[in-house]
Structure 1
Amino acid sequence: MAHLKLEGAINLKEDLIATACSAAIKAHKHPEKPFLLDKTRDSSIISFAGSSSPEAWFSASDSSFGETKIDTQLFPSVRSIGVDDYAVVNSAFLRRFQGILGKLKEVLRVNKSVVFTGHSAGGSIAILATIWLLEQQRNPDSNPYTNFTPTCITFGSPLVGNFIFYHALKREKWSTQFVHFVTRYDIVPRIHLAPLSSLQPQLQTILNCLNSRSLGSTVNGNVATEFFMTVMRNASAVVSNAACRLMGNTNLLLDTLQSFVKLSPYSPFGTYIFFTESEKAVVVTNPDAVLQILFYACQLSSESECDHIAQQSLKAHWGYESKMQQNLELLHAIRLDELAKLPLSLTGRNTAITEALNELGLSTRALLNLRAAGAYEEQKTRNKERMEVKKQNIEDHLNWLEVDYRAVCKVDGFGYYDVFKLQKDPIDFQANIKRLELAGIWDETVEMLKRYELPEEFEGDDEWIKLGTRFRRLVEPLDIANYYRHSKNDDTGPYLIKGRPKRYRFTQRWLEHNKKMSDPSEESTLWAKVEEIRIKTKTKMYAECSREIIELERKMKRWINEIEDDMLLKKSTFMEWWKTLPEHHRSQSCIKDDIERMVNDNNATNTM
């Protein structure tokens, strides 16, 4: 835990934060405009207004929480790569962003740093605008917009997407660009933890209040209280379920309940700054910890507080400007970086950290859950360290397959695919053992990735991407050879449809995402395509299969360097089949020259 000035805690200058807040509040005066543009000496500040329309907060046509699959064209990186699972996002926020994107592009064609900001629902649009611009900058050659990394600063913003937002943004190293300010009681960052159906009776009245600065009259006490209690009841279910997951609870009853009671999918991401009642700010980057604080900071200590806190939760939504008008240099910022070391009791202690947590009203249960969030994050790191130890074992096995096996197999016109498929010599048995040991290591990795038990950065790690690509290109052909050697296709179906393990799908997607490939990286699966087209041409005429044959040859042409000519050896499964194709096809084939080159190289080698 670190105790710093705010500027040092979040790496943003105080004057920029104050300027962003003023711009965000000013945007509320112009809800008819898609955004406001303010220019400072160093930056362009683009601010988005909130809205008092329920349709701008929830889209009832999509689901009970108003979520929908994210626009994969605008946000291709906001997904879990290996699992190939795209994030879900609030549909109403997404539609509003899509509607103003054209105008936004017009003002971004400048070589100047950009700060996106917004208060209330305007913060959600600022978030999507920032992610969209970061997506553009993943392709610097085709990016016509600013070359500066954008920053997003929100004030009392609602939650926008599910946990995959955090997962993807952390992997891409973008999450540090998002800073969210939240006052202790502000209800807005909690609203989307409740389903629309439970909020509808009071939602319009509450939104009218939240988007008005004249809060002196307040909302009818019963309306405010019922709304507050509805949100907090649903938030309680969400954080309790999350805490059970963090603590490794395996109670099957929880899974059963979730099948009947749908919980909010929304999750925090980025850096959160919680303001206490005094001049303190608690800085948290762990999304599980943020979720817990969102609930426990508003937890009632007695039933008599309910009406007062309900009204406070609405008034607090307009408390940001007054905070920013104070001298931010006097604000004490406490970073909660070592959550697992938090004390379980705040009584009898008098430190800046305990004072700040006390002012947030965190109970012993809250502290226990925060520690669990920290321990869960540390376990991810330990899991990666365990896999790092196995990295050398993976490399040793791959080196053996490449040097001691693959090179030796290139005799008498056969390649390592066909030699392995025949399984005639003891060395083939050794290769099979290496294959199975490697499969075990990578399957373990895949299972941890599916359960999100490795750090988010893992799938973006250049060393692991390179190692995974080498493993896939070298070992998957052996898996394919084993599959067709045992005729598993007869019972299960084609390898690519029914037999391909996730370890290859995951590592393939890593490379495609990392290299921004528009076409799939299919070089390791070419042997499976060969086997299937061979089977098909046994029962069908050439004319019926010609398109597939030509497509296969085109793919071989593209990946010829990665497959190292193994397919073109004269006695390979591919060449034995290819020679049976009609002469007119072979004479016009796109790989004809490659085959002739291979033949000439072999002849030259044999005459030496």
Structure 2
Amino acid sequence: MVGEKVGDITGLSEELILKSCKLAIKAHEKFPGKLYIYEKNRGSTDVVFAFAGSWLVDHWYSRKPFGETKVDASKFPSLRSLGSDEIALVNEAFSTRFEQLLIKSSFASEVEKAVSDRKQVVFTGHSSGGPMAILAAIWFLEKYVRPNIYQMPPYSVTFGSPLVGNRIFSHALRRENWARYFINFVMRHDIVPRIMLAPISSTEQGLKLMHDFTSPKSQSFQHVPIGNSAAAPAFFLSVMRNASSVASHAACNPMGWTNLLLETVSCFIEISPYRPFGTYIFCIGNGKLVVLDNPDAVLPLLFYCLQLSPGEENAEFLHGIFKEHLVYESELKESLNMQNVVYIKNLIDIPLSSDAGTNYAAATVNSALNDLGLSTRARLCLRAAGELEKQKLENQKRVDSNQDTIWEGLRRVQEYQTNCEIRKIGYYDAFRNQRDANDFNANVKRLELAGIWDEIMEMIKKYELPDGFEGRKEWIELGTIFRRLVEPLDIANYYRHLKNEDTGPYMVKARPKRYRYTQRWREQAEMRSIGSSSESTFWAEVEELRTKPYSEVKDKVLRLEGQAFAWIRDGILGKDVLLDESTFTKWWRALPVQHKSGSCIASYLGN
């Protein structure tokens, strides 16, 4: 889209963006004396926290080859896949620096003060200060925004920041609708945002070069070190070679393309796990800004817009590339003043040729792509990212069309449950016994619903739906009702056929994804602890406990009784579980008298 302003796209004023950049550069210059600085002008509606960067190798990589580790789930519980329950990966060195910031500084208390003063909080960082700003913003979102303690989301504004987390990291932020709060400015030729695409073995010497080049205290300040004239090209080429592998791998996998050579190479070359997220604003260098917010498009762009011709691979040009990491403030002043902004939203229609488009908007987009130096292959990658996004939206539309069918199926199962109660038997036990035509019909409906949901779960597992799908309120509600109503039938069918004797307990190896996933949806949306919304597996617990001696499972019995009491009281678990012929009632009444006399559900069942 042409003609939009940066402030309208990001939600931040140009003045605040410039202030953030100025403070980010200033904070970087303060290292190692200060971990961060912040500005809190009296009467201002905002407060900006700027984090210091560092070129120390152990502040970038803590281990070979890429230094990634699982995020701290206690601080960042949202950074995981709800489907696979896989925790996101984060750069361990960046994460450790942020942990130290929380422990060894007054940062947390100063943020608390900003919240109490009702300020718009902005976290910013230049270079490796950027990851600190990103982690601080996520920490703030988890601590204040998600629990509805504070309604004003923070912003993370970075300048030349390296990548921080993996695909799940990016996916989770888009699922929570938080990615829009992360604004990343990148100079076209700045090597730093690409560094994390290469392993430490390829970049360690390069980090030293960057330190010498960017540190005012260094004799080589803003000059490619003569003694390392060969190291600079080697560093650049290594980063770009790895960026090429990552971009190619990422481009092939989502679209289902096959590349035997790539698959073979992948067996020998480790691919960086790091991926972009948020809004990226590329500073072309002529006052023009190009904006993208599709991470699948940003990744190849990081590679393709930094391609050099053979004549450019020399010390003088590399000096210019290194220098681009230092000119964000001056570049932004010019660009924000000109407001020559191209926001590329419709990726599938971007021109493949470098020739001008047929209308003003197309010609302007094409001019921006030319300024980025994008080849036809690069443009194809951007189109592929657009096609992938389009396909996900079409998949979502198709999945949404199943809602009426699902609701109708659930209505039929509910009718079955009601009819069973009229016959004075719980629908779990009726289905387990299978003595009536209604039981057979209920099984047919169960299988129909399972087929619909299994298809949806498989799409989620393969990331074939938009990242925000699992956070949609209507599907969380539908999934919860489906799970509570239909999973007891799956459990009844499992134990009716004695599958537990071959496979083991239902909860260990047999529980389908359609119930595990939808349970996590609800727990995430309502900020419940993992596994706390387990009411639909009540009967599986009963089936396992009733086959074991009371002395072995006493604690589990007490826990289940406590849960059942709350679920029945709140209407989550039907009172048909308390009928005289219920499997649960029969088992409970066979428990030791001493236990029953002190049980919390004795008032429901009698002794």
> If the TM-score is normalised by the length of the shorter chain, which range does it land in?
over 0.9
Residue equivalent to 2:5: 5
Give the SS at the match of 2:306.
coil
Residue equivalent to 2:475: 464
Deviation of the 1:245 alpha carbon: 1.9
Mapping for residues 74-473 of structure 1, pairs under 5 Å: 74-102=75-103, 103-110=106-113, 111=117, 112-140=119-147, 143=149, 147-212=151-216, 215-220=221-226, 221-251=229-259, 254-302=262-310, 304-326=312-334, 328-349=336-357, 351-402=363-414, 404-473=415-484
In 2: Cα distance, 1:507 partner to 1:204 partner: 48
Give the SS at the match of 1:114.
strand
Greater shift after overlay, 38-47 or 6-15?
A: 6-15
For residue 369 of structure 1, what is the amino acid of its counterpart?
A: C
In 2: Cα distance, 1:16 partner to 1:423 partner: 68
In 1: Cα distance, 2:261 partner to 2:372 partner: 32
Gaps of 5+ in 2: none
- 1:565 matched to 2:569? The reply is no
Give the SS at the match of 1:283.
strand
Q: Go from structure 1 to structure 2 and tell me whether the alpha carbon gap of 1:139 and 1:191 turns closer, same or farther (over 3 Å shift).
A: closer
CA contact (8 A) 1:6 1:328 kept: yes
In 1: Cα distance, 2:335 partner to 2:292 partner: 22
**What is the number of residues matched between the two proteins?**
587
Q: TM-score, normalised by structure 2?
A: 0.93
For residue 93 of structure 1, what is the amino acid of its counterpart?
A: F
CA contact (8 A) 2:209 2:224 kept: no
CA contact (8 A) 1:36 1:47 kept: yes
Q: Go from structure 1 to structure 2 and tell me whether the alpha carbon gap of 1:578 and 1:276 turns closer, same or farther (over 3 Å shift).
A: same
Deviation of the 1:572 alpha carbon: 0.8
Q: Go from structure 1 to structure 2 and tell me whether the alpha carbon gap of 1:216 and 1:458 turns closer, same or farther (over 3 Å shift).
A: closer
CA contact (8 A) 1:52 1:210 kept: no
CA contact (8 A) 1:206 1:224 kept: no
CA contact (8 A) 1:9 1:334 kept: no
Q: Among residues 590, 596, 604, which one is paired with 1:586 in the alignment?
A: 596
In 1: Cα distance, 2:511 partner to 2:145 partner: 30
In 2: Cα distance, 1:380 partner to 1:373 partner: 11
CA contact (8 A) 1:9 1:333 kept: no
In 1: Cα distance, 2:456 partner to 2:30 partner: 51
Q: Go from structure 1 to structure 2 and tell me whether the alpha carbon gap of 1:297 and 1:280 turns closer, same or farther (over 3 Å shift).
A: same
In 1: Cα distance, 2:491 partner to 2:254 partner: 39
In 1: Cα distance, 2:436 partner to 2:263 partner: 50
Greater shift after overlay, 386-395 or 216-225?
A: 216-225
CA contact (8 A) 1:5 1:329 kept: no
Residue equivalent to 2:61: 58
Give the SS at the match of 1:427.
helix
In 2: Cα distance, 1:217 partner to 1:311 partner: 6
In 2: Cα distance, 1:171 partner to 1:476 partner: 26
Q: Go from structure 1 to structure 2 and tell me whether the alpha carbon gap of 1:343 and 1:58 turns closer, same or farther (over 3 Å shift).
A: same
Give the SS at the match of 1:164.
helix
Deviation of the 1:397 alpha carbon: 0.1
For residue 597 of structure 2, what is the amino acid of its counterpart?
A: S
For residue 12 of structure 1, what is the amino acid of its counterpart?
A: L
CA contact (8 A) 1:6 1:332 kept: no
Which structure has the higher relative contact order (CA within 8 Å, separation 6+)? Answer: 1
In 2: Cα distance, 1:181 partner to 1:126 partner: 13
Residue equivalent to 1:605: none
In 1: Cα distance, 2:315 partner to 2:255 partner: 33
Mapping for residues 513-592 of structure 1, pairs under 5 Å: 513-518=524-529, 520-536=532-548, 540=549, 542-560=550-568, 561-592=571-602
Q: Go from structure 1 to structure 2 and tell me whether the alpha carbon gap of 1:307 and 1:246 turns closer, same or farther (over 3 Å shift).
A: farther
In 1: Cα distance, 2:223 partner to 2:269 partner: 37
Deviation of the 1:248 alpha carbon: 1.9
Q: Percent identity?
A: 49
Residues 111-150 of structure 1 show CA distances to partners (whole Å, capped at 9, x for unaligned) of: 2111111100011100100110010124546x4xx65311
Deviation of the 1:75 alpha carbon: 0.6
Residues 238-279 of structure 1 show CA distances to partners (whole Å, capped at 9, x for unaligned) of: 101111124321346644543332100000000000011212
Residues 557-599 of structure 1 show CA distances to partners (whole Å, capped at 9, x for unaligned) of: 1211211112111101111222222222222211011224xx9
In 2: Cα distance, 1:430 partner to 1:291 partner: 50
Q: Go from structure 1 to structure 2 and tell me whether the alpha carbon gap of 1:15 and 1:572 turns closer, same or farther (over 3 Å shift).
A: same
In 2: Cα distance, 1:501 partner to 1:256 partner: 34
CA contact (8 A) 1:52 1:208 kept: no
Give the SS at the match of 1:64.
coil
Q: Go from structure 1 to structure 2 and tell me whether the alpha carbon gap of 1:9 and 1:346 turns closer, same or farther (over 3 Å shift).
A: farther
Q: Go from structure 1 to structure 2 and tell me whether the alpha carbon gap of 1:348 and 1:263 turns closer, same or farther (over 3 Å shift).
A: same
